[in-house]
Structure 1
Amino acid sequence: MLNQFSRTELLFGKEAMDHLEGSRVAVFGIGGVGSYTVEALARSGVGIIDIFDDDKVCLTNINRQLIATRKTVGKYKVDIMKERVLEINPKAIVNVHQCFYSPENADEFDFSEYTYIVDAIDTVTAKLELIMRAKAAGVPIISCMGAGNKLDPTRFEVVDIYKTSICPLAKVMRKELRARGIKELKVVYSKEPARTPIEDMSISCRTNCICPPGTERKCTVRRQVPGSTAFVPSVAGLIIAGEVIKDITGVK
Structure 2
Amino acid sequence: MTLYNWQERTILLLTEKNNTILNNSNVLVAGLGGVGGYTAEMLCRAGIGRMTIIDADQIQPSNRNRQLLALSSTHGKRKALLMRDRLLDINPELKLTVIDEFIRDERTNEILETPFDYVADAIDTLSPKIFLIRQVLKNKLPLVSSMGAGGKTDPGQVKIADFAETYQCNLARMLRKRLKNLGVRTGFKTVFSPEMIDEETMQAVENEPNKKTTVGTISYMPAIFGCIMASVVIRDLLDMEIELAKRPCRRNSRA
TM range (shorter): 0.7 to 0.9
- For 1:24, the equivalent position in structure 2 comes to 26
Task: Kindly indicate whether residue 159 of structure 2 is the aligned counterpart of residue 170 of structure 1.
Answer: no
CA-atom RMSD in angstroms: 2.0
Change (3 A) 1:45 1:52: same
229, 232, 236: which one pairs with 1:243?
232
- For 1:230, the equivalent position in structure 2 comes to 219
How many residues in Structure 1 have an aligned counterpart in Structure 2?
A: 238
Contact 2:161–2:191 (CA<8 Å) still a contact in 1?
A: yes
In structure 1, runs of 5+ residues without a counterpart are 207-217
Contact 1:197–1:227 (CA<8 Å) still a contact in 2?
A: no
- For 2:247, the equivalent position in structure 1 comes to none
- For 1:38, the equivalent position in structure 2 comes to 40
CA drift at 1:141 = 0.6
- For 2:105, the equivalent position in structure 1 comes to 103
SS in 1 for 2:65: coil
Q: For 2:227 and 2:145, how far apart are their aligned partners in 1? A: 13
CA drift at 1:114 = 0.9
- For 2:81, the equivalent position in structure 1 comes to 79
- For 1:187, the equivalent position in structure 2 comes to 190
Q: Residue by residue, what CA displacement relative to the aligned partner does 1:40-73 show, whole Å, maximum 9, x if unpaired?
A: 0011000111110000011111110001101111
Change (3 A) 1:76 1:12: same
- For 1:139, the equivalent position in structure 2 comes to 141
Q: Using the TM superposition, name which of 62-71 and 107-116 deviates more.
A: 107-116
Q: For 2:76 and 2:154, how far apart are their aligned partners in 1? A: 30
Q: Where has structure 1 moved over 4 Å in runs of 4 or more?
A: 197-200, 218-221
Q: TM-score, normalised by structure 2?
A: 0.87
Aligned pairs for 1:104-123 within 5 A: 104-123=106-125
CA drift at 1:37 = 0.3
- For 1:213, the equivalent position in structure 2 comes to none
- Match of 1:145, as an amino acid? M
- For 2:199, the equivalent position in structure 1 comes to 196
Q: For 1:144 and 1:49, how far apart are their aligned partners in 2? A: 18
Contact 1:124–1:173 (CA<8 Å) still a contact in 2?
A: yes
- Match of 1:177, as an amino acid? L
